[in-house]
Amino acid sequence: MALLLVSCGSPDYKGYQTRGYSIRGQHYQPMSVERALHYSDEGIASWYDESSFFGFVRGNTSLGERVGRFDISGAHKTLPIPCRVKVTNLANGRSLKMRLNDRGPFIPGRIIDVTPRAASKLGFKEKGLTQVRVEVLSVGDGKYQRKAPGRKSWFWPF
């Protein structure tokens, strides 16, 4: 018996992913790197949990990366992945820089999903949803990384 797994990404990407994909009958076309480098938007953030209580992985990101219990990362439908963003909770002013390495959220009206640890640091885990501003700091990994003009892309995961 053969098992075929299909995702919107693969662990062997080079630099970043901008390829289109379909989920639940809806097609999404990620924006170009040039457009993403100037991206800033406000909307609803939610959180999602891909890890188990003991940190064992239940799922992988669209890039094929494992998500651990204490990771700070997130998902976006149309930004190239990976990218680094600054997320600001507009209800309390808390900000956090994180790596986006997954696709989602696929619930209408939401612009970003974050891990439980990121939601806690942003101060909305108990509430579940909050209004945020998302600003791209850089797109890509390694030699493919491109920094957004005029934004500091310093990144610290904690």
Task: Note the pLDDT tens digit of each residue in 58-85.
Answer: 557 888 787 777 889 999 999 999 999 9
CA 7 to the chain's CA centroid: 15
Domains (ranges, CATH) in the chain? 39-147 (2.40.40.10)
Q: What is the pLDDT of residues 95-138, one digit of tens each?
A: 999 999 999 999 999 999 999 999 999 999 999 999 999 999 99
Task: Give dist(CA 93, CA 158) in Å, integer.
Answer: 18
68, 116 in Cβ contact below 8 A? no
- Exposed e or buried b for every residue in 55-74, given b needs 16+ CB within 10 A? eeeeebbbbebebebebbbb
Joined tokens for residue 139: 């797109």
Q: What is the pTM of this model?
A: 0.83
* Degrees, nearest 5: CA angle 132-133-135: 145
